Amino acid sequence: MHKKIALEIIGCLHKRYSDASIGLSGSVAMNTFRHNSDIDILFCRKSILSSYSVTFKYKEVSVSIFVFSLGLIEENYMEYLCGYHNMPITFISTSKIIYDPCGIIGNLKEIINDIVRRKVILSKLLVCELEKNAMNLLSLNPKSFYEEKK
């Protein structure tokens, strides 16, 4: 039922906004949904300059449409790279593309994949640096931390 509802809503969105990029995300996209799961839809258009979400009930199922602006994701690249605000990263990367006439979702996925690759590299560098500093601290002579009284 969830997939049928999702495809119905996506069909309506596509009919109204034929230039829009539309994807399906969450448990419905991964085919792990339950009877009480919601439906998560990704929606993008070139003319949209902000990111927001709309949630509603349709046929007793909760539906969330998440709208992401390509420009806003690019603008906040460093925040996603260095911060902990992972919702857009997870949501976009797990989305299944249904319609993408202008390649917006494809571009978003490329940006997100780049952020994830860089996060992995940065975390490995951080761990190496922490290990090196810890080893340096452990190898110091304890007498170097205090002056002996005579």
Q: How far apart are CA 150 and CA 146, in angstroms?
A: 13
Q: Which domains does the chain have, with CATH numbers?
A: 2-136 (3.30.460.10)
Specify the pTM.
0.79
- pLDDT tens for the chain, residues 1 to 150: 899 999 999 999 999 999 999 999 999 999 999 999 999 999 999 999 888 999 999 999 999 999 998 888 888 888 888 877 677 888 898 999 999 999 999 999 999 999 889 988 988 888 888 888 887 777 766 555 556 555
Q: Is 137 buried (19+), middle (13-18) or exposed (0-12) by CB count in 10 A? A: exposed
